[in-house]
Amino acid sequence: MGGRRLGDQTKQALATASSNLSPITMKFLANIWTILSNLVAQRQDDLPDATNGCRLDIIIVGGGMGGLSASIQCALSGHHVTVIEAARELAETGAGIQVTPNAAKLLKRWGLSESFWSSAARPSSMNFRRYSDGTILFREQDYGPGLKRKYGSETLNISRVDVQKGLYDRAKELGVEFHFGTKVVEIDMDGGRVKSAAGLEFKGDLVIGADGIWSRCREVLLGKEDHPEATGDLVYRIIINAEDVPAGELRDKITNPELNIWFGPDCHAVSYSIRSGTALGLGLVRPDDLPPGVSKKEGSAEEMRELFRNWDPILARFLDHVKVVETWKLMHRQEVETWINDKGNFVLIGDASHPMIPYLAQGANSAIEDGATIGLILGKITSKSQLPQALQMFQTMRKARGEAVARESLKMRTFYHMRDGPEQQERDSLLEKYSDSKRTIEEKFPLSWVCPIFQPWLFGYDANIEVEKAIESSPFA
Ligand SMILES: Cc1cc2nc3c(=O)[nH]c(=O)nc-3n(C[C@H](O)[C@H](O)[C@H](O)COP(=O)(O)OP(=O)(O)OC[C@H]3O[C@@H](n4cnc5c(N)ncnc54)[C@H](O)[C@@H]3O)c2cc1C
């Protein structure tokens, strides 16, 4: 239970009960109360010391990528953190995610467990292919190791639930409190209060809205109904276990991790190994045909195979092994003017603030950067009165970047989905010229993954360094 809740509610329950109880029962309850109080006190003692002597009570709505990341960094900065999550447990939703160096370096600093690191697959090459026959349009043979050399950190392909579990385990070690199966329905922003559907109330000095693309927190901040908009694309998310495909070429493709992206008319496909190279995560994007209001649905494997029947034969062979498939409508949102309230005790992070389509695989990476940044800034404050300035600093640092990544991701949709014709031929011949490092790309390049201006800006970002720079130029008054 949240630190403030446990004390008040338990005391109240004991007081109400005491009027009707025998002395023996009273003594028994008092002993329980002492044990519980000691447990809570002990957990508070286990927390790291507040870096600057100011310990905040922080409520995080949503235990996804951003919420869990913020919980770790806020706890490391010495604050008391409570995460409220609607889902009953951390469960596999969707397939894998790519964690790029900008986020992987943060996970390393946070000291995630060995089992987390061993659950990742590390892609060697990155291949962009033509849909119809798998011809390589552009390849970087040394993709993962090359990024590590350039940006000092790994690129991980990993099952989404493995990331969540790695973050959750670390947050628990740091004393973060979790309430699963607790959906927030009411938020009093200025009062720092949130209320669950079951009527539980939590109060903090700061509320962080990390409740994802369907954010309730965002609506409260905007003061109006605000629904995500359909992008027009839909994705099939699939996991194929290596042991479920015959030994030989197909299985080798899984156990030797690489990143493949196929460009096709109005569609694209992405594949990479996950779970230490024992499974393949596949995402197939196609035009959306789900009715308005339906965001996720079990799909038909037959229909999917039919749609991708004339694609690269290796892809079609993988699809033959798919039994169950999920379809997700890909959503986005307009940029908003602010992510923080006027009082300076409420902030949005992750998809709640800057959702992005996954065509540069950056939604989770950006949410992790957000979580690190807010926690690091809050490690620098020396009094609660500095909270508004801290949130303003967070917004200045993160808003322009988050929104720029979202816009760049949207650009990739046009680049990937060209129909066959002169524009597509021009794209393919440009890519081919630079494939396999035949020539050095020296100026802005339309494939953002390898653009020499965009890539270092994206993957070279270091939240710790950025926070130090921001504090140096605007120290807290
Ligand atoms: C097909 C696909 C592929 C992707 N691939 C990648 C990738 O390779 N790399 C990458 O970086 N990103 C990827 N993303 C994007 C990434 O998944 C999201 O951007 C990321 O999860 C956002 O993190 P978040 O914490 O903001 O939201 P989420 O991770 O969605 O977490 C929000 C949490 O809030 C909870 N919640 C919601 N409402 C409430 C409420 N009212 N009360 C309490 N809890 C609530 C939810 O249950 C959820 O756990 C992909 C997305 C898709 C759809």
pLDDT of the chain along its 477 residues, tens only?
343 443 334 333 433 344 444 544 444 443 443 344 334 434 444 445 556 789 999 999 999 999 999 999 999 999 999 999 999 998 766 679 999 999 999 999 999 999 999 999 999 999 999 999 999 999 999 999 999 999 999 999 999 999 999 999 999 999 999 999 999 999 999 999 999 999 999 999 999 999 999 999 999 999 999 999 999 999 999 999 999 999 999 999 999 999 999 999 999 999 999 999 999 999 999 999 999 888 899 999 999 999 999 999 999 999 999 988 989 999 999 999 999 999 999 999 999 999 999 999 999 999 999 999 999 999 999 999 999 999 999 999 999 999 999 999 999 999 999 999 999 999 999 999 999 999 999 999 999 999 999 999 999 999 999 999 999 999 998
**Which atom number of ligand 1 is nearest to the Cα of residue 371?**
25
**Contact residues for 404 (Cβ-Cβ < 8 A; gap 6+):** none
Ligand 1 center to 86 CA (angstroms): 13
Q: Which of 60, 65, 333 to mutate to test the pocket of ligand 1 (most atoms within 8 A of CB)?
A: 65
> Number of folded domains in the chain?
1
- The answer to whether the CB of 216 falls within 8 A of the CB of 121 is no
The pLDDT, as a whole number, for residue 20 is: 47
Structure tokens at 152: 């000092």
Q: How far is CA 387 from the centre of its chain?
A: 25
Its domain, for residue 240, covers: 96-161+228-332+413-443
Ligand 1 center to 184 CA (angstroms): 16
**Which atom number of ligand 1 is nearest to the Cα of residue 68?**
25
Please state whether beta strands 229-241 and 279-287 pair in parallel, antiparallel, or not at all (unpaired): antiparallel
* Dihedral sign from CA coordinates of 359, 219, 210, 389: positive
Ligand 1 center to 258 CA (angstroms): 24
Residues lining ligand 1, Cβ inside 6 A = 61-67, 84-87, 94, 97-98, 183-184, 210-212, 216, 235, 237, 283, 328, 350-352, 358, 361-365, 367
Ligand 1 center to 163 CA (angstroms): 12
Ligand 1 center to 210 CA (angstroms): 9
Cα separation values, 160 from 86, 93, 116, 464, Å: 17, 7, 11, 24
Asked whether the ipTM of the predicted complex exceeds the cut of 0.95, the reply is yes
Burial class (CB in 10 A: 0-12, 13-18, 19+), 20: exposed
The pLDDT, as a whole number, for residue 50 is: 59
Q: How far is CA 254 from the centre of its chain?
A: 24
**Contact residues for 159 (Cβ-Cβ < 8 A; gap 6+):** 92, 95, 96, 119, 239, 274, 275, 279, 281
**Contact residues for 164 (Cβ-Cβ < 8 A; gap 6+):** 63, 64, 65, 68, 90
Ligand 1 center to 420 CA (angstroms): 33
Residue nearest to atom 3 of ligand 1 (CA): 358
**Contact residues for 116 (Cβ-Cβ < 8 A; gap 6+):** 107, 162, 163, 165, 166, 169
Burial class (CB in 10 A: 0-12, 13-18, 19+), 19: exposed
Burial class (CB in 10 A: 0-12, 13-18, 19+), 366: buried
Residue nearest to atom 48 of ligand 1 (CA): 64
Q: Tell whether 107 is covered by a domain.
A: yes
Residue nearest to atom 15 of ligand 1 (CA): 363
Give backbone dihedrals phi and psi of 383, rounded to 5 degrees, phi first.
-155, 155
Q: Tell whether 373 is covered by a domain.
A: no
- Return the CATH number at 282: 3.30.9.30
CA dist., res. 371 & res. 258, Å (int): 28
- The answer to whether the CB of 68 falls within 8 A of the CB of 164 is yes
Q: Tell whether 344 is covered by a domain.
A: no
**Which atom number of ligand 1 is nearest to the Cα of residue 356?**
19
Q: Tell whether 149 is covered by a domain.
A: yes
Among 153, 96, 94, 92, residue whose Cα is nearest residue 272: 96
Ligand 1 center to 447 CA (angstroms): 25
Q: Which of 85, 347, 369 to mutate to test the pocket of ligand 1 (most atoms within 8 A of CB)?
A: 85
Residue nearest to atom 21 of ligand 1 (CA): 364
Q: Tell whether 143 is covered by a domain.
A: yes
Q: Tell whether 423 is covered by a domain.
A: yes
Please state whether beta strands 267-274 and 201-203 pair in parallel, antiparallel, or not at all (unpaired): unpaired
Residue nearest to atom 20 of ligand 1 (CA): 364
Residue nearest to atom 19 of ligand 1 (CA): 363
- The answer to whether the CB of 311 falls within 8 A of the CB of 269 is yes
- Helices and strands in the chain: count of H runs, count of E runs: 16, 18
CA angle centred on 360, ends 165 and 241, rounded to 5°: 50
Q: Tell whether 32 is covered by a domain.
A: no
Ligand 1 center to 65 CA (angstroms): 6
**DSSP summary character for residue 15:** H
Give the Cβ contact number of residue 129 at 10 Å.
23
- The answer to whether the CB of 282 falls within 8 A of the CB of 271 is yes
- The answer to whether the CB of 353 falls within 8 A of the CB of 311 is no
Q: Tell whether 291 is covered by a domain.
A: yes
